Amino acid sequence: MRLWKAFAYFVAEAWQSLWRSWKVSLVAVVTIGVSLFLCGAFLVTFRNLSRTVSQWRDDVAVVVYLPREATPAEVEDLRFVLGAPVWVQGVVEVSTADAAHRFEATFPGLAELARVGEEELFPASLEATVDPRRIDDAQFEEWIAGLRLHPAALLVDADREWLDQLAAAVRLVRAGGIALGAVLVAAAALTTSSILRLIAHAHREEIAIMRLVGATEFYIRGPFYFEGLFQGVAGALLAIAGMVLGFRALPDEGSLVASLLFSEPARLAELGWVLGSGALIGTAGAVLSLRRERGEPQVIE
Amino acid sequence: MIQLWNVSKKYRSGPVALGEVSFSVARGEFLFLTGPSGAGKTTLLKLIYREELPDSGQILVNGRNVTSLPRRKVPYLRRSIGVVFQSFRLIPRKTVFENVTYLPRILGMSREEQQRMCERALRRVGLAHRLNAYPRQLSGGEQQRVTLARALVCDPRIILADEPTGNLDPELSNEILALLREIHAQGTTVVVATHDRSIIESIGGRVLLLHRGRLVADAEREAGPEAMPRPAPLPFKADFRRAH
């Protein structure tokens, strides 16, 4: 039998079977859909989170706040120490007036606060912009510790410290997400497998007749593989619809969490990944459902 | 066409199903396989179409050694054998056309070819007008004729019928037997397993008698109740007489 004819037959039989047993097929489709939606949503939010953290790490700066009593010589020495490492791209001095302006620009609603009293609310500082790619971790830690001991340093604020903690947390989330995703995908594949076994059981008499008249295993199993594939693809499309519509349903003015996690919708490649995974889960379910039968030559009574 | 040498078969939990059975069936022969329930008739047929494998012995079908046939080649053996069961085994949700055309469909024939072959097979069994009927719309005799049409659709060299009249009244049984005779007259080898003595008496022909898994007689028998069997000189001849 020509291959394309066989595939046409598989597609037609699988399609018919899907309609004939649409209720159980729907269970498989929804299970795959929900699992893939959760995996896909996790993929997108994780990617957004990773990107944000990565951007923050790229913009890392070390700010040394200066005490009012610091002498110009001490400040100059601090500037030298701050600018010495290879990973420092430049050092900028921020005066108390500049700091107040920044505050007003960032928090316009609180601008009045910056002008209360005669004393200067914001200390002057030296800001070092850092190239994170050139950082040597051990030397960086040593450098920060040295800055903290400098007589002209009131407070040293190194973004990198908490960003490293955030990155570690992100890695933990990723590991948890991968484990959860694996469980969900396995559950979806097993559900599909069980449903296809049910369908195969319902068709056992027909399968027996087909074997009796001389159908090959390829010909008998083909429709089931395609049915699993269709269920997987339908589940994936459901998940994709959920991801696209779910993103659109998010409010425009988001909170910090929303801007962290949902700053960008699912990319085409990610949707492709979901679709491919659906096809794979469905086919894997079909293979699993028919695997046990492989070793049994007797199917007729 | 079919040759068995010292074929034995025993199921895991049960007595010997077949013990040291040897016989051959020539091309175009009509053969009855008879004996009481549990004699091994169905097992013998299953061995011929490779539904079961013997524990020992050799089976040749159409020149192919069935016992050493790789599993992937079994479908090709079965395409040359038509099998008919007592229980019809038609798929209720499929039409007569769909039930009959399983093999042409498997062979990748076009819809027109399937239609032509189905009509021809149904004509042979006198059911050409029920092409689009569902099995539930047919009588028992008609359903068995559809089963025969399914077995005949690709002109197999061998027809194996396992108690083909078991679910039918005498009149319908005669119809089916007449059809089997007609199929045989067109050159097909036919093996009918039955425990019904009246069927054998009505037609006559070569009769193999099985008893407790052993071949106890191989005889040519004339049609009619008075005609005595002429068993070949095999052991357990007395059993054959007792059974008839």
pLDDT tens across B161-175, in order?
A: 998 888 778 888 888
Give yes or no: residues A228 and A257 share one domain: yes
| Within a domain: A159 | no
Quick check: B46 pLDDT over 90?
Answer: yes
CA-nearest residue to B82 within chain A is A213
**Is A300 in CB contact (< 8 Å) with chain B?**
yes
**Is A273 in CB contact (< 8 Å) with chain B?**
no
Give yes or no: residues A175 and A286 share one domain: yes
**How large is the ipTM?**
0.82
Which residue in the set A206, A214, A217 is minimally distant from B76, CB to CB? A214
pLDDT on residue B45: 94
Of residues B223 and A30, more confidently modeled:
A30
Give yes or no: residues A75 and A149 share one domain: yes
| Within a domain: A221 | yes
Give yes or no: residues A170 and A277 share one domain: yes
Q: How far apart are CA B228 and CA B235, in angstroms?
A: 18
**Most distant CA pair in chain A, distance:** 100
Closest CA to A272 of A42, A40, A46: A40
Q: What rounded mean pLDDT belongs to chain B?
A: 85
The model's pLDDT over B3-16, given as tens digits with 9 standing for 90+, comes to 999 999 988 877 88
| Within a domain: A160 | no
pLDDT on residue A144: 87
Last residue of a domain, one of A85, A118, A153: A153
Give yes or no: residues A113 and A215 share one domain: no
How confident is residue A290, by pLDDT bands cut at 50, 70 and 90?
Answer: confident
Give yes or no: residues A134 and A263 share one domain: no
CA-nearest residue to B108 within chain A is A1
Domain enclosing residue A192, as ranges: 3-55+165-297
| Within a domain: A50 | yes
Q: What is the CATH number of the domain that holds A126?
A: 3.30.70.3040
Mean pLDDT, residues A182-190 taken together: 85
Between helix B170-185 and helix B111-124 the angle, nearest 10°, is 120
The model's pLDDT over B69-86, given as tens digits with 9 standing for 90+, comes to 998 899 999 999 999 888
Quick check: B237 pLDDT over 50?
Answer: no
Last residue of a domain, one of A120, A153, A186: A153
CA-nearest residue to A210 within chain B is B102
Count of pairs with CB atoms under 8 A, one residue in A, one in B: 51
**Is B105 in CB contact (< 8 Å) with chain A?**
yes
| Within a domain: A242 | yes
Give yes or no: residues A127 and A258 share one domain: no
Q: Which residues contact B167 (CB under 8 A, 6 or more apart)?
A: B86, B87, B88, B140, B144
- Residues in a beta bridge with B161: B84, B192
Instruction: Specify the DSSP class assigned to residue B11.
Output: -
| Within a domain: A149 | yes
How confident is residue A253, by pLDDT bands cut at 50, 70 and 90?
Answer: low
How confident is residue A249, by pLDDT bands cut at 50, 70 and 90?
Answer: confident
Instruction: Specify the DSSP class assigned to residue A108.
Output: G
| Within a domain: A60 | no
Which residue in the set B51, B72, B83 is minimally distant from A298, CB to CB? B51
**Most distant CA pair in chain B, distance:** 55
Give yes or no: residues A205 and A273 share one domain: yes
Give yes or no: residues A25 and A110 share one domain: no
Give yes or no: residues A279 and A174 share one domain: yes
Residues of B in contact with A211 (CB under 8 A): 75, 78
Q: Which residue has the tokens 């005609």?
A: B227
Please state the domain count of chain A: 2
Q: Which of residues 211-230 of A touch B (CB under 8 A)?
A: 211-217, 219
Residue A95, CB-side half-sphere exposure with 13 Å CA sphere: 3
Give the burial class of A53: count Cβ atoms within 10 A of its Cβ; 0-12 exposed, 13-18 middle, 19 or more buried: middle
pLDDT on residue A299: 37
Last residue of a domain, one of A100, A127, A153: A153
| Within a domain: A158 | no
Quick check: A300 pLDDT over 90?
Answer: no
A18-32, A121-135, B224-238: least confidently modelled range: B224-238
**CB spacing of B78 vs A212 below 8 angstroms:** yes
Give yes or no: residues A173 and A290 share one domain: yes
Give yes or no: residues A36 and A180 share one domain: yes
